[in-house]
Amino acid sequence: MKLMNFISNLAMPFVILVVIIYGVFQKNKIFDDFLEGAKEGLEIVLSIFPTLVGLFVAIGALRSSGILNIIINFMLPILNIINFPTEVMPLAILRPISGSSSIAIATDIMKNYGVDSSLGIIASTIMGSTETTLYTIAIYTSCVKIKKTRFVLAAALIADFVGIVTSVVICRILT
């Protein structure tokens, strides 16, 4: 275990050193290239900032309005029929929207029910098999100026739905 920690701690400095050595052998102006990359990174951050602000405001409104509980209560009869755990429904709803919210919900599930519990395993599997779809689409498409995302959004949300349902089914079978 100590060997793995040692290797982990050296990984990033080693990669940086390899890049610098490669740049020196290629006779590149390494620091100028670094500054140019930092400048491009800052331009990207500034271009996607309005999208991020809009997403964060929408997520905050969704969480504080209580609409999440209304949606879950509306779906409760269906969830009971298909034996879907209602405790992971907030995670299933917010995972495609917000990574930080879904991490908070998954952490809460694990704190309340245990990491090795059926719900903890389902929450972990959902986190690993889905993506923060709306965030990812908003960021990537705004960076490259794509406006028509209708089919991308539908395909990604279907993939998230399949990932969530599959996570529950597989975890129910295996636990």
What's the confidence (pLDDT) of residue 121?
A: 95
Residues of the chain with pLDDT under 70: none
> Letter for the amino acid at 38?
A
Helices 150-174 and 118-129 cross at an angle (nearest 10°) of: 150
Phi–psi pair at 132, nearest 5 degrees: -80, 80
Cβ-contact 97, 56 below 8 angstroms: no
Each domain of the chain, given as residue ranges in start order, spans: 1-47, 66-174
Determine if the pTM surpasses 0.75: no
Supply 157's token pair.
């949300």
Minimal CA–CA distance to 83: which of 166, 169, 175?
169
What's the confidence (pLDDT) of residue 163?
A: 94
What's the confidence (pLDDT) of residue 3?
A: 84
What's the confidence (pLDDT) of residue 148?
A: 77
Q: Is 43 exposed, middle or buried (0-12, 13-18, 19+ CB in 10 A)?
A: exposed
pLDDT digits (tens, 9 = 90+) for 133-170: 888 888 888 778 787 777 888 899 999 999 999 999 99
d(CA 145, CA 164): 30
